[in-house]
Chains A and B, each alone.
Chain A
Amino acid sequence: MAPKEKDSKEKEEKVVKINKWDGSAVKNAIDDAVRDVSLIVNQCLRKKYNYVENFALMDGRLTICGIAVAVAMFALLWDYLYPFPQSRPVLIFCVASYFVMMGILTLYTNYKEKGIFAVCIQKDSSKKEIIWEASSFLAKYDDKYNLTLVLVDGKTKQRRETSSKKSVANFIDVNGSVVPEQVEAEVSRLHNSLLNERKTK
Chain B
Amino acid sequence: MDVATLFDDVKRMNKRQFLYQVLSFGMIVSSALMIWKGLMVVTGSESPIVVVLSGSMEPAFHRGDLLFLTNYPEEPVRVGEIVVFKVDGRDIPIVHRVLKLHEKKNGTVKFLTKGDNNSVDDRGLYAPGQLWLTKSDVVGRARGFLPYVGMVTILMNEYPKFKYAVLACLGLYVLVHRE
Contacts and interface: CB of A to CB of B under 8 A. Distances in A.
A–B touching in complex (CB under 8 Å): yes
A92 B31 CA distance: 15
Contact of B34 (A24, A32, A66, A72): A72
Contacts of A28: 9, 178
A99 B12 contact: no
A78 to B, nearest CB: 10
A95 interface: yes
A58 B37 contact: no
Which secondary structure dominates where chain B touches chain A? helix
A65 B12 contact: no
Contacts of B20: 58, 61-62, 65
B8 interface: yes
A68 B1 contact: no
B37 A16 contact: no
Contact of A65 (B8, B24, B29, B179): B24
A75 B16 contact: no
Given A17-B5, A65-B27, A24 B33 contact: no
Interface size band for A? 35 or more
B8 A17 contact: yes
A75 B177 CA distance: 28
B23 interface: yes
Contacts of A72: 26, 29-31, 33-34
Contacts of B41: 88, 91-92, 95
A75 B46 contact: no
B19 interface: yes
A73 B9 contact: no
Interface string A7-31: 0000000001111000011001100
Given A68-B27, A73-B30, A95-B37, A84 B9 contact: no
Contact of B40 (A58, A69, A91, A102): A91
Interface in A78-118: 79, 83-85, 88, 91-92, 94-95, 98-99, 102
Given A69-B30, A102-B31, A62 B38 contact: no
A24 B30 contact: no
Nearest to A35: B14
A98 B19 contact: no
Contacts of A85: 46
A84 B140 CA distance: 13
Question: When A and B form their complex, which 9 residue pairs have the shortest distance between CB atoms, in order from nearest?
Answer: A72-B30, A65-B23, A69-B26, A95-B38, A84-B46, A98-B34, A28-B178, A58-B16, A91-B37
27 contacts: A17-B5, A19-B5, A25-B9, A25-B178, A28-B9, A28-B178, A29-B12, A55-B16, A59-B16, A62-B16, A65-B24, A65-B26, A65-B27, A66-B23, A68-B27, A69-B23, A71-B30, A72-B29, A75-B34, A75-B37, A84-B40, A91-B37, A91-B38, A95-B38, A98-B30, A98-B34, A102-B31
Interface of B: 1, 5, 8-9, 12, 16, 19-20, 23-24, 26-27, 29-31, 33-34, 37-38, 40-41, 46, 177-179
Given A19-B5, A72-B33, 4 more contacts: A32-B12, A58-B16, A65-B23, A65-B26
Interface of A: 16-19, 24-25, 28-29, 32, 55, 58-59, 61-62, 65-66, 68-69, 71-73, 75-76, 79, 83-85, 88, 91-92, 94-95, 98-99, 102
